[in-house]
Chains A and B, each alone.
Chain A
Amino acid sequence: MTTAERAGTAATVDTPVLAVRDLSVSFPTETGTVSAVDAVSLDLAPGEIVGMVGESGCGKSVTAMSIAGLLPGSARVSGSVRLNGTELVGSRESALRRVRGKEIAYIFQEPMTSLNPVLTVGRQIGEVLQIHERMSRRAARARAVELLTLVGIPSAARRVDNYPHQLSGGMRQRVMIAMAVACGPKVLVADEPTTALDVTVQAGILQVLRDLRDRLGTSILIITHDLGVIADIADRVVVMYAGRVVERAPVTDLFAHPYHRYTAGLLSASPTPGRHAGTDRLQEIPGLVPVLSTQPDACTFADRCPAADSRCRDSAPPLEVVGAGTTDHLAACWHPCPSPRSPIEEVNR
C-alpha cells in the first residue's frame, strides 16, 4: 500500500479514536507562567499514523504527555482529550491509570534510560499484563515471550530474562514497543522513538510500528523532529510551532505544497532526494523557538518569518483550510506560500 492510498483510507473514517480539542498546557515557574501548548486540536482515526513534527521546545512532547495525564501535578491543562468519546482531561487519577498502558500506551526516546535497569525485560513487559489483564506472573512471562517475538526479537525465550543493559539500543526500543502493545492499546504515542538510534536501526523500528498498525489496527501518534521519519511512516502530519498547530495535512500534500512559512522552512532545512546538493543549499531558519509566558494575539513565527508584516504581529492567524480541492489541508498563516516547494528561495529572491 502506498502512502497516498493509506492516507485516503484513513481520511474516510469519520469517528476518531482520539480527539484532542483546544488543549492548552502551562507551567508555573519561579519567573512566571510558561505557556507550553496553546489550543492544540487533532484527531487520530482508527489505524491511522499521525506524525507530529516541530523543533525542540515547540510543545510536541508536552502535548503527548498530557494526552494520558502524565504531566507533573504543577501543569495546568485545559481543553479536551476524548478517547472513544470518554473525556480524559480532568478525570480521576484512578480512571486515568486504567487507560494508561491499556488503552493509550507510550514509547519514549531513550530506550536505555526508559527501561528500569534492575528488572528483566520480561518482568517489565509482564508487569503491564499483571495490572491490566490480571494475569499471573507466569502467564505474563509467557505472553512477554510472544510479544518479544512479535516485535522481531530473535530467540525471545532467552531474551525475556535479559536485563536492559544486555540488549542493543534497537532491541531495547523493540522491548519498549512490546511493553506498549502488550494490552493491545487503541492508541500508541511514540515520542521520538528513533531519535536515539542509528539510521539502520531506525528503519527496523519504523517497520515494526507499521506492522503493528497493519496487524492490530493500533492508531499511532508519532512525535519527531525528523521529517524523514514522517515521510516514511505517517499518513497525516501536524506541524507545531511554539505551542500551536501551524499546519495540518495528509503527508503527501504537505510535502508537495507546504502552505505555512514555517513548514516550508522546515522542509528546506532537511535534505530531500531529487534536489541537487550542489545548487540547492539546505536552508536554516534563523532564530530560535520563543519561550512564551502568555500566548500573544499574533503569529508566533512572525519574528523569524521572511514574509511577516504588521498584520502577522497584530493578530493570530486561524487554522483554516488552504489550497483548492481539499478539505483536510489546514494552515495558520496570513501569507501562505503560493506555490509548491522551493518557497524560501522565492521569498529570499
Chain B
Amino acid sequence: MARYLLTRAWQSALTLLLSTIVVFFGVRALPGDPALALAGEDRSPEALEAIRRHYGLDQPLPVQFAQYVERMAQGDFGVSIRTGTPVSSMLTTALPVTVELAVLAILLATALGVGAGVLAAVRRGRPAEWVANGLALIGLSVPHFWLGLLAILYLSVATGLFPASGFVPILENPVDNLHHIVLPAVILGTGLAAIIMRQTRSAMLDSLSSDYVRTAKAKGLRPRAVITQHALRNSLIVVVTVVGLQLGGLISGAVVTEQIFGLPGFGKMTIDAVFQRDYPVIQAVVLLTATAYIVINFFVDLLYSVIDPRIRVTGDPA
C-alpha cells in the first residue's frame, strides 16, 4: 500500500510540475509583451520596467520559471487587470460558490446515477431498465446549459419556485443559499448522473453474473443482500473512477451553469476574464483547475485503496 501511494504521489507531483510548465509557456505565448499584459491600466515605461523587475522578466527562462513557481505556491497570482484587486482575493470569494455547486451536483448525480444503474441492472429486460436506459441516453445527449435555460424560462420565471439568478452565501442564510443553488446543481448533475448510471449498470451486470454472486446466492442470502453487500460493493470501484475522471467535465459544466444562473463563482470569473483579456485571472484559473484536478484524483486513488483491498494490501491496481 505504501508503495502504491508513493508511486501515485510521485506521479501526481510530476503531472503538477508538467502542467505548471504548460501554463508558464502558455502565458509566454500570449499575444504582446507579458509586461504590458500584466500592467493593466498604468502603462508608463517606469511601471513596465518595475513589472519586468518584479516578475523577473529580464532573467533567463529557468530562473523565471523558478520564481514563477515560488509566486504561485505562495498564492501570488498577480493583480486583476480590470479590477485592480489581487487575483487571490477574487478566488477566495468565488471558489466557495463553485465548490458548493460542484459538491452538491456530485452528490445528487451519484445518488441518482447509482440508484438508477442498480435498478436497470437488477430489472434487466424489463420496463424499468428501458426507462432508465432511455433517460440516461437523453441525459448524455442534452446540452445541460440549455436545460438550465429552459428551467429558468419555464420554472423560475413562470412559476417563481426558484430564483432565476443570484446567490446568497451559505453562512449568511443556509436556506436561501440552498434555494439558489439547488436548481443549478440539479442541472449540472444531469450529465454526470447519466454517465454514472451507465457505468454502474454495466459494472452491476458484470458483478451480478460473477461467480461470487452465485456463491452469495448459494449461501441463501436475500436478493437485497446479494445486491448491496456483494454486487454493489464491487461496482462502487467503477463509480469512484468515473467520478474522478468526470471531474474535468464537471468543472467545464460548472463554468456554463454559473454563467446561466448568474452565480458569482469561479466560472463566471473565468468567462468575464476571457472577454476582458484579464490575463492574470485566466492564468490563475487554468493553473488552479489543473491543480485541483490532480489533487482530487490523487485522493480518489486513496479512496480506491480503501474500497479495494487488492490495492490496499499488495499495491497492485486491480
Do the two shown chains form a genuine complex with each other?
yes
Chain A contact residues, CB within 8 Å of chain B: 68, 70, 97-102, 105-106, 108, 110, 113-120, 127-128, 131-132, 163, 165-166, 176, 179
B221 CB within 8 Å of chain A: yes
Are A166 and B218 touching (Cβ within 8 A)? no
> Nearest CB to that of B237 among chain A residues?
A118
Are A165 and B309 touching (Cβ within 8 A)? yes
B216 CB within 8 Å of chain A: yes
With A119-B233, A165-B309: A114-B211 Cβ-Cβ less than 8 Å: yes
Are A105 and B309 touching (Cβ within 8 A)? no
14 A–B contacts from the bound complex (CB under 8 Å)? A97-B221, A100-B218, A108-B218, A114-B212, A115-B215, A116-B216, A116-B234, A117-B309, A120-B309, A127-B216, A131-B219, A131-B225, A132-B220, A165-B310
Q: Mark B143-158, 1 if CB is under 8 A from A, else 0.
A: 0000000000000000
B288 CB within 8 Å of chain A: no
CA distance A100 to B218 in the complex (A): 6
Name the residue in B212, B230, B237 with the highest tally of chain A Cβ atoms < 10 Å from its Cβ: B212
CA distance A165 to B212 in the complex (A): 13
CA distance A176 to B218 in the complex (A): 11
B85 CB within 8 Å of chain A: no
Q: Report B146 CB to chain A, min CB distance, Å.
A: 40
Are A127 and B221 touching (Cβ within 8 A)? yes
A117: which of B216, B221, B234 is its contact (CB, 8 Å)? B234
B308 CB within 8 Å of chain A: yes
> Nearest CB to that of A132 among chain B residues?
B220
Are B310 and A163 touching (Cβ within 8 A)? yes
CA distance A166 to B315 in the complex (A): 12
With A110-B211, A113-B210, A119-B233: A128-B308 Cβ-Cβ less than 8 Å: no
Q: Report B311 CB to chain A, min CB distance, Å.
A: 10
B277 CB within 8 Å of chain A: no
With A113-B212, A117-B309, A118-B234: A106-B218 Cβ-Cβ less than 8 Å: yes
Q: Report B81 CB to chain A, min CB distance, Å.
A: 52
B313 CB within 8 Å of chain A: yes
CA distance A106 to B220 in the complex (A): 11
**SS of B interface (majority):** helix
Chain B contact residues, CB within 8 Å of chain A: 210-212, 214-222, 225, 229-230, 233-234, 237, 307-310, 313-314, 318
Are B221 and A131 touching (Cβ within 8 A)? yes
> Chain B residues near A127 (CB, 8 Å)?
216, 219, 221, 229
CA distance A108 to B212 in the complex (A): 10
Q: Report A126 CB to chain B, min CB distance, Å.
A: 11
> Nearest CB to that of A189 among chain B residues?
B218
CA distance A101 to B219 in the complex (A): 4
Are B220 and A128 touching (Cβ within 8 A)? yes
> Chain B residues near A163 (CB, 8 Å)?
309-310, 313
CA distance A99 to B220 in the complex (A): 7
CA distance A117 to B313 in the complex (A): 12
Known: A114-B211, A179-B219. 8 other contacts (CB 8 A): A101-B219, A106-B215, A106-B218, A113-B211, A117-B234, A127-B221, A166-B313, A176-B215
Q: Report B216 CB to chain A, min CB distance, Å.
A: 7
Are A100 and B233 touching (Cβ within 8 A)? no
> Nearest CB to that of B234 among chain A residues?
A118
> Chain B residues near A97 (CB, 8 Å)?
220-222
CA distance A106 to B217 in the complex (A): 10
> Chain A residues near B221 (CB, 8 Å)?
97, 101, 127, 131
With A70-B214, A166-B313: A118-B307 Cβ-Cβ less than 8 Å: yes
Are B212 and A116 touching (Cβ within 8 A)? yes
> Chain B residues near A108 (CB, 8 Å)?
211, 214-215, 218
B314: which of A100, A114, A165 is its contact (CB, 8 Å)? A165
CA distance A163 to B212 in the complex (A): 13
CA distance A119 to B219 in the complex (A): 15
Are B309 and A118 touching (Cβ within 8 A)? yes
With A110-B211, A118-B307: A101-B218 Cβ-Cβ less than 8 Å: yes
CA distance A113 to B229 in the complex (A): 16
Closest 10 CB pairs of A and B: A100-B220, A101-B220, A101-B219, A113-B211, A106-B218, A116-B212, A163-B309, A114-B211, A97-B220, A114-B215
> Nearest CB to that of B230 among chain A residues?
A116
Are A70 and B212 touching (Cβ within 8 A)? no
Are B219 and A118 touching (Cβ within 8 A)? no
> Chain A residues near B219 (CB, 8 Å)?
100-101, 105, 127-128, 131, 179
> Nearest CB to that of A163 among chain B residues?
B309
> Chain A residues near B210 (CB, 8 Å)?
113
> Chain B residues near A68 (CB, 8 Å)?
218
Q: Report B211 CB to chain A, min CB distance, Å.
A: 4
